[in-house]
Chains A and B, each alone.
Chain A
Amino acid sequence: MTSSAASIDSRGPDARQLEAMARFLAERRTFGVAWLDRDLVIRQTFGHFMDAMPVGARLETALPVFLGFEGDIKRLVSEPERSVVIPNVLLQNTDSLQERLNFAIFWSPREGSYYLLVARAISRVDLEYRLAAEVRARAIAEAEVAAQSRLVKRANLELAAANADLQEFASVISHDLRAPLRALRFGSADALAALEAGQVDVAREALQRSLHQGRRMNAMLSGLLDYARAGRKTDGLEVLDTHGLAREIARTATHGSEHQVTVTGDWPTIETLAEPLDIVLRNLADNASKHHDLAAGMIMLDCKVDGDDLVISVSDDGPGIDPAWHEAIFLPFRQIADSEQGPDGAGIGLALVRKTVERFGGRIEVISEPAKRRGTTFRVVWPRSLKT
């Protein structure tokens, strides 16, 4: 036995002090207290430590939770303001200590030199608080997982849309580009035959037709490329003066014709993606001018705010579009496939417009009944808050 252990024995608490200590510890839910000498041998215990911590045993043998902490504990002698705390421990093999405990060891140089080990039971309230914190942490983690799932779901939807686009693209390539390609082939064959027959003028005419078809194909492929890119977000949201945009489009949409373009209604300043809205309005205005049958035709751009949407109308007093065509005009190359349109009209404009509008959560409709009256109106509903 060391001298310090002897000093604990001789200066240990008397019955009155023990009673006072028992009250003090009970009030603080203290599970047990032990006094240890400088060699970390148990010299006295109090509370529920009686069975688990026999006097004379080494600390780490009685309480293996302290295995590996000897150096930390012995440093307390030179740093008495510190303590070694091991929180929230359940000793599974020790029948007499079946409580979740917080352990703390202090160096107590007064009243003899010894270490004081205090074990405090963790109350149900503490555990419930901890449990609530864990439940909350799990809820946060689950919310993050749900958010990730939504992102995956959204990516899958976009992938499905991209696949649909790809199918449509393949269909257009295989079907609609065949016509000019065929014409190109026949034109070249005609030119060759004419040359072999010495008919230079016929050959020249056939080659000019082939050249025209080549230009037409080029325009179609350019248009198709624009269509494939439609709706891809390239820039961030920006504050856009839609009235300024409409006036700029009105100024340039006529391409030298005498058509008169007017801008009416309530055009607000909104935060939006400017490029897609420009594509939509410009194509509609261009189309209205391009397909107008009167030299002095009228084109009107109008806008009103309807709740969370802008309702934009592009109207003209042209020949109108038969209702039988109202769906087909939004398909790529429908017009060009069914009419001999020049290279300036690639037949992709309205397909591009609808794809762009729908990509950002809007919709488009065409209103025209040429049997009753002249004119066509394209009505676009453009969300003020974009689904990007």
Chain B
Amino acid sequence: MITKKLLLLGEIGVGKTSLVRRLVHDEMKADYIATMGVDLYTYRIEADSTEGPVTVELVIWDLDGNYGESIFQHIYSRGASAAMIIGDAMRQSTLLHMIKLADSFQNAMPSRSFAFVVNKTDLLGAPDASILPEPLREARQPLIWTSALTALNVVPAFKRISDDIVRREH
């Protein structure tokens, strides 16, 4: 088993805590409480490497969305293997912010894995690429449509990034 640190990044209210709670506890709380500081979760997942399956223990840092791009100067981001950059399908500003976060992440932590996650897809009815800002539509990184409410693609999103971590680091 290998242990890897994963950052959840995105503006306040995009659903970072809801996603990780759906993953770890398979629950969704209706009341919104902003995360202050960091909430730490661990979750074991089977990742696929070229040499077969690998058990990865993800140490998931559910971060306070207030940090924005300054998170990369904060001690919280030290030693991270990957980041999940999350936006809210119903708020364009959060989708635009994903691009800034991705740029800053790549500058601060070059060659680390990251994936784009567009959450609250249930409010759209179905994934709809036309709502995405152009840089997100054309990005080479994986983009996954999730819903913490319906559990759509939540486990696959974390599996996808775990696979990428394993492929890059092993």
Contact = CB atoms under 8 A, between A and B. Distances in A.
A89 B36 CA distance: 9
Contacts of A67: 3-5, 59, 79
B40 A64 contact: yes
B30 interface: no
B135 interface: no
A137 interface: yes
Q: Interface SS of chain A: helix, strand, loop or mixed?
A: mixed
A90 B59 contact: no
Interface string B78-101: 111100000000000000000000
A64 B78 contact: no
Interface residues of B, number: 21
Interface in A113-143: 127, 130-131, 134, 137
Contacts of A72: 78
Nearest to A88: B37
Interface string B30-67: 00001011111110000000000000010100000010
A94 B120 CA distance: 28
B59 A134 contact: no
A86 B40 CA distance: 12
Contacts of B59: 64-65, 67
B129 interface: no
Interface string A81-93: 0001111111111
Contacts of B24: 92-93
A373 B88 CA distance: 72
A134 B12 CA distance: 11
Nearest to A86: B75
Contacts of A69: 78-79
Contact of A131 (B36, B66, B80, B81): B36
A137 B34 CA distance: 13
Nearest to B43: A93
A32 B39 CA distance: 19
B42 A134 contact: no
A89 B37 contact: yes
A260 B81 CA distance: 88
Nearest to A122: B37
A61 B1 CA distance: 12
B120 to A, nearest CB: 20
A92 B38 CA distance: 10
Given A69-B79, A134-B66, A137-B66, A89 B38 contact: yes
Instruction: Choose among A64, A89, A137 the residue with the greatest number of B CB atoms under 10 Å from its CB.
Output: A64
A100 interface: yes
A60 interface: yes
A93 B43 CA distance: 9
Contacts of A86: 75-76
A256 interface: no
A90 B42 contact: no
Contacts of B66: 134, 137
Contacts of A89: 37-40
B79 A88 contact: no
A64 B6 CA distance: 12
Q: Which 4 A-B residue pairings sit nearest by Cβ, starting from the closest? A: A68-B79, A88-B37, A64-B59, A90-B39
19 contacts: A64-B3, A67-B3, A67-B4, A68-B80, A69-B78, A85-B75, A86-B75, A86-B76, A87-B37, A88-B36, A89-B37, A90-B38, A92-B24, A92-B41, A93-B40, A127-B36, A131-B36, A134-B36, A134-B66
